[in-house]
Each structure stands twice: as structure tokens, then as C-alpha cells.
Amino acid sequence: MPAPNIDTIVSLAKRRGFVFPSSEIYGGLGSAWDYGPLGVELSNNIKQSWWRWLVYDRDDIEGLDSSIILNRLVWKYSGHETTFHDPLVDCRECKTRLRADKIEGKCTNCGSTNLTEPRNFNMMFRTILGAAAEEDDPAALAYLRPETAQGIFINFLNVQTAMRRKIPFGIAQIGKSFRNEITPGNFILRTREFEQMEMEYFVKPDAEHLKLVDEWVEQYLEWFKSLGISSENLHLHEVPAEELAHYSKRTVDIMYRYFPERAEEERQWEELMGIAYRTDFDLRSHSSKPADEEGKRLNSDSTEDLSYFDEATKQRFYPHVIEPAAGVNRTLLAVLMDAYSEKTNDKGEMRVILKLSPQLAPIKAAILPLAKNKPEIVGMAKAIKRSLQPVLRAVYDDTGGIGKLYARQDEIGTPMCVTVDHQSLEDEAVTVRDRDTWEQERVKVAELADYLQRRLKATAPAQPVAATTSLEI
């Protein structure tokens, strides 16, 4: 049973230290959120899982970490300066600013149809570089990147030559992106600052691009399932031609059921990620060589030709690109919603259990002393915590009675609780309690690390096999 709505997760996330509203002591900042002690662990675990799956388990993908602020010309030639905008309207009655394509001609705040004509609003955040520059100096204008992808395209040749790569191969990057969204909202689903996990997969111009999109869709569905997301809450959306981004010939979105409480099935879904066939648009438009019919260079600023020479066929071409682009924040929200469950204990009290997959759980084992006023028990529990730490993320907690401590760990998704009691001092054994079944087992301290690791592995959803492509690598 997933969370009934996003609000349930907002409240759990704040109460238990996953996500806090940002700048709250100054009244907040619409759509900005801070990741607390458990949120940062969960987010890091998602990013690590992604990196391991793409960069380590496969042999055809390299990693990259490019700058957030790039030369403005990148955004000129990527097309973002002229096309990266949303249609904006104002409600003349209540003065609310709205995205015209999301409201069907009616103000979502007051219901009025008295709206201004739509006008384009560029979503890139602007900034000025240099202490001496004037606010309106076009030479000093720069943007915060609205996608991590461009940092990959402009480094295509660097990576390819430094790592002596042959096509097909990919470049993966995780990092913050920024968009001045007109209507941010729904918690961390749509924010102005967010994190992306993007991969550009470079292939030959005559590859079966549309089929490759399907292959990557299948691989990502497997990856999301390995994070514990149920396939019932995932579905595919083929983006209609008229809604495709300026660079895309085909995009398939993987949607997640973020709004299960909505009556109409089609309004329950929102994009979790997109897989696009970007053609050779970006590499070609960042290159110095391509010219128009009169021989005039299309890019008069670039100093490089980002084409690729295929030794086997002795042909030079601009590689085509398949791009799976996912959001860290949307993945984290989907993971939290899907892991949420409720269970009634034998006293008839409702308990929340976050059934996070063990690889994502912020804490793998909590070490709890049964009596916190007994120094020998506390000492033993702390020593066990320290001995486990190099092997798995463990915490020590004595801030309540054992029932409360168990309930708190269940609510943050800790798969195992280890209790040290009076008996432990004599038999060198502890009680291990399972988050999902609440079953308990007595385990020797000397065997504890191995036992926990084995159990964590056994309860994890299947890992996706090292993904492959139908192309020869």
C-alpha cells in the first residue's frame, strides 16, 4: 500500500528529518526544500545506485561532473535562449501568474477566464559574472544550467579522446539544474532548483534510434523496480509530436502515480523521467563546421568540430544521441511514496513502516540498549555500533523506551534493529528485529555483521543485470 497522497509524505519527511521546507524561519521560499540528515542519505543512496548501475556495472559509460555556469554561447547554440520557455498568462481578476498550457483557459486560483494573452517566459536563471560588470551588461550575462546535458555535449570530444572511446558509448552526469518555473509546487516534484541524473548515449547516425529508446525505457523500468518501486505505479507516456522539445524526434516519459487520491486515472500520473532521441542536434549545432546552403557557418563561435571518425568504415559523422534524463528529487519522492505502509500492532495502534529497499535505507541497523541506565548495556551497545560502522551504516539510539525506538526506526525505514539486553552481557548475543515482519531472532555478537549483511541482501529487490544494448560495443 503506497502513501495515499503527497501530503502524507510531506509531514513524515519533516517530522523524521528527510526534507524540511527551506528558509522556514523567514517565512519560507516558495518551492525550495532542504534535505535533512535522512534525506541526504536517501538521496546519496539513489545517486550511488544509479552511478553503480550505469558507470560501474557496464563497460560503455564514462562519468563526468561539468560546471553549472557555462559560457553563454552554449545556451545560444543549444537553442535554450530562444526556445526554452513556457507560455505565461496573468489572471486579470486575482493577479495570479499561471502556465497557459496547464490551466485550460481558467484561472486555477479564482476560476476567472479573464486572462491576458499568453507570452513566452524564458525559464533560465540569469546571473552576472564579475565584480565590475553592470547589471544589464550583455557581455557579463550568464545562466545557471537548466539541464546537465549540455555540459556533456561540450565535453564529448574531451571524454572520447581522453578515454579512447569508440561509438557506441555514453557519458553520465549527476548534478543540480535550475529552472525559473512559473508554477512550482507539489513538494519536491516541481522546484526551481533540482538535481538530475542524465546520460547521453552516442550512437551511429544509422542505428535503430527508436528501438534504442525502447531498450533504455525497459532498462530504466528495471532500475526503478530494483529501488522498490512497484510496476503498478509506473506507466509509459509517448510524448505527442507537437509537445516534443526542440531537439527531440521521439520522447517516452516514465510516469509515476504521484496523485493516487485523484478520481480520474489520467490525472494521477506525473513525469518521473524522460527518454529522448536527441538526434545529432546538439553535437552538430555546437560544431564549427556545419554550413548553410551558401557556405556560411551555422556556428560562427565554436572553435571545435565535434564530429567522430569511424576507423572501421573510414567515415566521419556527428553521433546521434539517446538520452535518458531522470530527476533525483522525483525519484526520491516516488521511492518514499511507494515504501509507505501502515500496520496495526497488537494494541490496536496504527504504525507507519517505510519499506525502503535495504540499499536505499538511510540507516541499515539501529543499535538499541534495553536499559539506558545500565552502563554495561550502554557500553556494549555503543561498542557494537562502532564495530558495525565500517561494514554498514549503523546508529546508536537510547532516546526512548524500546517500543518507541522500534516505532521510530520503522518509520524511517531501518531494516534491522539490534537490541542489547541484560542477557546479552552473559551470552554475548543480541536480539535482531525485522522491520517488515517484526519477527525477532537471537544472534551471537561475533556473527552479527555477517548475519546483518546476509539479511540485507536477502530482502533486497533483485538488482538489474548489467544493462546491455542491442548495439555492438
Count the site residues for ligand GAP by CB under 6 A.
19
In whole angstroms, give the CA distance from residue 461 to residue 167.
33
Provide, rounded to whole angstroms, the least separation between the CB of residue 437 and ligand GAP.
Answer: 34
Nearest residue to ligand GAP by CB is 327
In whole angstroms, give the CA distance from residue 209 to residue 204.
9
Provide, rounded to whole angstroms, the least separation between the CB of residue 50 and ligand GAP.
Answer: 12
Query: Given the DSSP bridges, would you call strands 350-354 and 340-344 parallel, antiparallel or unpaired?
Result: antiparallel
Provide, rounded to whole angstroms, the least separation between the CB of residue 237 and ligand GAP.
Answer: 11
Chain Cα centroid distance, residue 334: 10
172 binds ligand GAP (CB under 6 A): no
Give whichever of 167 and 273 is closer to ligand GAP, judged by the CB atom: 273
> What residue type is assigned to position 198 of the chain?
E
In whole angstroms, give the CA distance from residue 17 to residue 465.
33
Angle between helices 37-51 and 209-226 (to 10 degrees): 140
Provide, rounded to whole angstroms, the least separation between the CB of residue 181 and ligand GAP.
Answer: 5
Provide, rounded to whole angstroms, the least separation between the CB of residue 123 and ligand GAP.
Answer: 9
284 binds ligand GAP (CB under 6 A): no
Footprint (CB under 6 A) of ligand GAP, residues 297-336: 323, 325-327, 329-330
190 binds ligand GAP (CB under 6 A): yes
In whole angstroms, give the CA distance from residue 21 to residue 10.
9
Provide, rounded to whole angstroms, the least separation between the CB of residue 65 and ligand GAP.
Answer: 16
181 binds ligand GAP (CB under 6 A): yes
Provide, rounded to whole angstroms, the least separation between the CB of residue 231 and ligand GAP.
Answer: 18
Which of 173, 196, 279, 307 forms a contact with ligand GAP (CB under 6 A)?
Answer: 196
- The string of DSSP codes covering 170-237 is EEEEEEEEE---SS-BTTTTB-SEEEEEEEEEEE-TTS-HHHHHHHHHHHHHHHHHHTT--GGGEEEE
Give whichever of 191 and 287 is closer to ligand GAP, judged by the CB atom: 191
Give whichever of 191 and 299 is closer to ligand GAP, judged by the CB atom: 191
Evaluate whether 41 touches 414 at the Cβ level (below 8 Å).
no
282 binds ligand GAP (CB under 6 A): no
Q: Which H or E element spans position 429?
A: strand 429-434
Any idea which residue has 553549472 for its cell? 68
Give whichever of 274 and 413 is closer to ligand GAP, judged by the CB atom: 274
Footprint (CB under 6 A) of ligand GAP, residues 238-277: 271-274
- Which residues on adjacent β-strands are paired with residue 121? 86
Evaluate whether 445 touches 384 at the Cβ level (below 8 Å).
yes
Cell of 422: 541484560
Binding mask 134-163 for ligand GAP (x = CB under 6 A): -------------x-x--------------
Chain contacts with ligand GAP (rule: CB under 6 A): 147, 149, 179, 181, 190-191, 194, 196, 198, 271-274, 323, 325-327, 329-330
